[in-house]
Structure 1
C-alpha cells in the first residue's frame, strides 16, 4: 500500500513553517490514517516491547510518523527535536517554536486581520497578482486556526477591485447569487473579463482614430489608407456574402471614380465618397 505511493516527504529548513505543516500533515495521512492519528493522539512507549497485536500496531504507526518527520528536517532543525520520544512530541515542539504560544498566535492573527482589512487592488495590478496576494494572507490566517468564509471573501474582493471592473461587478451583483458564488468562480469570471477588456481599444484610442480621419488627407500616411481600404473591403464582402438587398449575387465592384472593376480591392476614392456601382 505505502510502498507503491511514490511521494517524497516535504523538507523543512526553518522557513515557511505554515506551508510545510500543511504538506506534512497530508503526507502523514497518505502513509495511513492511523499514522497521522498517532501524531494527534500521541503515543507513550511502554516499558517493555508490546506483544499484543494492537500494541504493536500503535508502536509501528508512531515509528512511521516519527521517521517521516525526522527525515523531513534539515540538520539544523533536526537537532531541535532529536531528543523527543514520540511523533506527537516532535510535532508539538516544532509548532511551539514556529507558531508560538497562544499569545503569540493571537498577535500574529491580529496583524494578519489588519492586512486583510486593508486589502485593495492596485491600479497597475492584474487579477492574477491580486488574487495571489489575497491568497497569501488568507492562507496564513487559516494556518493559525481561523477560517475565512468564502462568501465574505467574495464580497471583500468585489468591494476592493479597481474602477475598471465596476461594470462587471455591477453585472455580477445583479446576475449572480453571492451566497453561492465561490472565490474560484469569481476568479474565472474576472480573468475572462480582463482579457476581453484588454483586447478592445480604449475610448481614447478610438476617438484619436476618428479625429485623425478628419485631418488633411494629403498628410495621411499610406499605411492608414491601406488599413482603411482593408476595413472597407471587409465590410462590403460581409454584405456580399450575406446576399442581402442590392448586393445579392452581384460581383465585382465597378468604381465610378476610376471606372475599373475591383474584384478584391476597392479604390481609395470609393472609401472617401462611398460611391460605387455593381457590375
Structure 2
C-alpha cells in the first residue's frame, strides 16, 4: 500500500502516516469595503492552491486505502474519517493477527518437539497423532526436512523400538524417506518385533531378524 500511494503522488503516504492536512487560515487584514468583499470583519483567508492540493491528496489517500480493505473488515473502518485512522485500525488488527499466528506456531512446534508415543500405544495410533502435527507445521509455513521429521518420529517411539531406531537411523535413506514410507517400513515389522520383544524380554531378536 505504501509504494502504491507513493506512486500516485509523493505526498499521498504523508496523509496516511501523519494524518489529514490542516491549512493555516489567518484573518483577513482589511477594513471597510475590502473586508465586506472578503466576507466581513471576521473573514479568513481562503486556502491556497497548495492547501487545496494537500487536501485533495488526503481525499485520494482515504479513497484508495478504503478500497483496499477486505469486505470482512469494512464494518470496522466505516466510521473512520481519514486515511490515517483507517491505517491505524488495520495495523492493530494485523498486529494482533500476527501475534496470534506466532503463538499458534509456537504451540505446534512444542507439539512437534515434545512428541512421544503413549504407553502401550500402537504404531498406527502414534503415526495418526504425529502426522497431523507435520501438516499443521506445513500449513503454518514451516516445512520440516524429511530427515528431521523421520528422526523425530523414531525418537518418539517407545523403548521396544530401540533396535529399529538404531538400524534405520544408520541407513542413509532416512534422509529421503517420506514419513509415510518410514511408517510402512516400521509397520511391516511391528507384529514380529512386538512378539519377539515380549517372548525374549528385549529387542535382541530384532537384530537376529534383520541380520
TM-score normalised to structure 1 length: 0.36
TM-score normalised to structure 2 length: 0.46
Higher relative contact order (CA 8 A, sep 6+): 2
Flag the structure with higher helix content. 2
